[in-house]
Structure 1
Amino acid sequence: MKTGDCDILILPGYAGSGEEHWQARWAGRLRTGWVVAQADWHQPDPEDWRARIVAAVEAATRPVVLIAHSLGVVAAVEAAPRFPAGVVRGAMLVAFPDIETCQNLPASVCSFAPVPRDPLPFPALLVASRTDPHCSYERAEEFGAAWGASVVDAGEAGHINIASGHGPWPEGLMRLAGFMSTI
């Protein structure tokens, strides 16, 4: 599948993705991509976040590919059972935060726990860092296996955000292209 053949829904995490974040940059570069806006990026409400993602999937006019970061990963996984069958063709999940152990996370983020461990109804690629302050690599592998996702070792990449030096993140775009070629 090519990016022009689908609607790409970009799902930021807690506090959203500022204009220098790779997700915001990709939204500007991918002509079929857009950010799914949340009502409150700093006081996330789990049900509202899930409902907005489901509504965006339902509003899509073509097959959907999700690109989620951090809390956006959790919200996408939680919303997945509510998606119309067959609409979401794949998901690139980046920097999953372990909200069950709540390592260095705000309490509002931890309110999304527990995280489902059911297999996702679509192919998924989970990109995980060995130095993510919000999730150990081993826990990311555990969740990826439960979801049926392929896990990619991003090395010592922090939380794969601006703070860890990932502005445009060209390596991520290459990963996305490789993933898209498999779905």
Structure 2
Amino acid sequence: MTRVLLVPGRGEPRPEHWLRRWSAANPHHTWAPEPPGPPYRVDERVAALHAVLSAAEEPAVLVAHSAGCLTVAVWASRHTGPVRAALLVTPPYVGPDWRPGPDDPPDSFVGEVPRARLPFRSIVVASRTDPYATVEQFHGYARDWGAELYDAGEAGHLDAASGYGPWPAGERLLRRLLDGS
């Protein structure tokens, strides 16, 4: 059996967010970290993801949103483990000149996002109207990580504020990763 691990972004997903809905509808999905929520400190999030992955030998598919995608990229640059695939939904662009915002802890993300090819199958979901990355930046992540790029259209940040509670297209992408198709 393949585990599904939900890797949240920097904030706590609201109850109507698709990640929360997937968690509620699928009690076998596991949060990494549990409970999901602020503050976002990349080293703590990577350690939490590694702990959950190391707790069992069965393979996992990671489903990450926003800063959770950065957590996955950093984890993959430091660790190995039973990851079969990852769905990376709207990763924010963090360039060399990025600085934490006023609501971010100063150590929320330090350094550059790893850009090496991921050692597992992955899909980067891009939005043409995301406030945290351009289409070109999504293409760059997908190219560097060796990921398939999925164009979600004009979907904002694919969060509750953008109208994404239910997200059937995301469920289909997850099924593809689980089925290996």
**TM-score in terms of structure 2 length:** 0.88
1:89 aligns with 2:84: yes
1:156 aligns with 2:154: yes
> What SS is found at the alignment partner of 2:62?
strand
> Could you tell me whether the CA contact under 8 Å between 1:38 and 1:49 is conserved in 2?
no
Q: Determine what percentage of the aligned residue pairs are the same residue.
A: 34
Q: 1:95 to 1:112 in 2, by over 3 A?
A: farther
> Could you tell me whether the CA contact under 8 Å between 2:77 and 2:114 is conserved in 1?
no
Matches within 5 A, 1:74-153: 74-85=70-81, 87-100=82-95, 102=98, 106-108=103-105, 111-153=109-151
**Runs in 1 of length 4+ with deviation above 6 angstroms?**
none
CA distance in 2: counterparts of 1:78 and 1:84, whole angstroms: 11
Pick aligned residue for 1:50 from 46, 49, 62: 46
1:65 aligns with 2:74: no
What are structure 2's unaligned runs of at least 5 residues? Answer: none
CA distance in 2: counterparts of 1:161 and 1:103, whole angstroms: 23
CA distance in 2: counterparts of 1:39 and 1:164, whole angstroms: 23
Could you tell me how far 1:140 is from its partner in structure 2?
0.8
Name the Cα RMSD after superposition.
2.3
User: What is the letter of the counterpart of residue 151 of structure 1?
Assistant: L
**TM-score in terms of structure 1 length:** 0.87
CA distance in 1: counterparts of 2:100 and 2:130, whole angstroms: 10
Q: 1:38 to 1:28 in 2, by over 3 A?
A: closer
> Could you tell me whether the CA contact under 8 Å between 1:6 and 1:62 is conserved in 2?
yes
Could you tell me how far 1:102 is from its partner in structure 2?
4.8
Q: 1:88 to 1:25 in 2, by over 3 A?
A: same
1:17 maps to which residue?
13
> Could you tell me whether the CA contact under 8 Å between 1:102 and 1:134 is conserved in 2?
no
Q: 1:36 to 1:54 in 2, by over 3 A?
A: same
Q: 1:23 to 1:103 in 2, by over 3 A?
A: farther
What are structure 1's unaligned runs of at least 5 residues? Answer: none
> Could you tell me whether the CA contact under 8 Å between 1:99 and 1:113 is conserved in 2?
no
Of 45-54 and 31-40, deviating more is: 31-40
1:168 maps to which residue?
166
Pick aligned residue for 2:29 from 29, 33, 39: 33
CA distance in 2: counterparts of 1:16 and 1:144, whole angstroms: 25
Aligned residues: 178
